[in-house]
Amino acid sequence: MTFFEDIRQAIKGLYSLVIGLRITGRALLTKTETVHYPRQTVDNIDTYHGHIEFVPTDAPDHYSKCIACGTCARNCPSGCITVEKAVLPPEIGEDGKPQKPKKAKYPSLFHLDYNYCSLCGHCVENCPTNALRFSTDVYLAGFSREDFEYDLIERSRKALEDKE
C-alpha cells in the first residue's frame, strides 16, 4: 500500500505544480500597471487611500457632518486623532437664571497626526454619521513632520472657500 500512496502523493504534487505554474503564467502575460512618475500621471485614483478628511456638507457653519462623538478617536489604534467638542455658552432662561447649556453637535478641534496614521480605516468605518472619508490626494509631500499634522476643520474651511 505504501507504493500506491507514494504514487498518489506524486500525482497530487504534480497537480499542485501545474496549478501554480498556471497562475504564474497568467500573471506573466497580463499588462503591468506601472506608471513612471512624473512623465506619466495616475489615471485611476478611485481606490487610493490617503489621509482622512471630512466629507463636505452644505451646512453653512459647520463644514462637515461630524457630531464630535469621538468614536473615530476611540477606535484609532495609532492614537493619531484628537477630537474636542465645541462648548456652547450658557443660555439665560426666562427667569433670568443661567440654564444648563445645550451640548454642541460639532467639533471645535479635529486634529490628525498623519505621521502616526496606519491607514487602517477604523475611523472611516465606525463613524456613525459617515463624516469621514479617505483623501485622494496622491501628490502629498512635505519637508518636516509638522507638514503632516492636520486640522481637518481648517482644511474643510479652506476647501469650501476655494470651491466658491
Q: Give the mean pLDDT per block of 10 residues along the chain (164 residues).
A: 88 94 91 80 80 82 83 95 87 76 84 94 94 88 93 86 74
* Cα 100 from Cα 46, distance rounded (Å): 46
* Cα 144 from Cα 58, distance rounded (Å): 34
Distances in Å between the alpha carbon of 63 and those of 27, 43, 131? 45, 29, 10
Ramachandran assignment for 70, one of left (phi > 0), alpha (psi -120 to 50 degrees), beta (any other): left
The whole-number pLDDT of residue 61 equals: 67
The whole-number pLDDT of residue 134 equals: 93
The number of helices, as runs of H, and strands, as runs of E, in the chain is 4, 5
Q: Which of 157, 158, 163, 164 is nearest to 64 (CA)?
A: 157
The whole-number pLDDT of residue 164 equals: 67
The C-alpha cell at 71 is 468614536
The whole-number pLDDT of residue 103 equals: 78
The whole-number pLDDT of residue 17 equals: 94
The whole-number pLDDT of residue 25 equals: 92
Domains of the chain and any CATH numbers? 51-162 (3.30.70.3270)
CB 108 within 8 A of CB 144: no
The whole-number pLDDT of residue 138 equals: 82
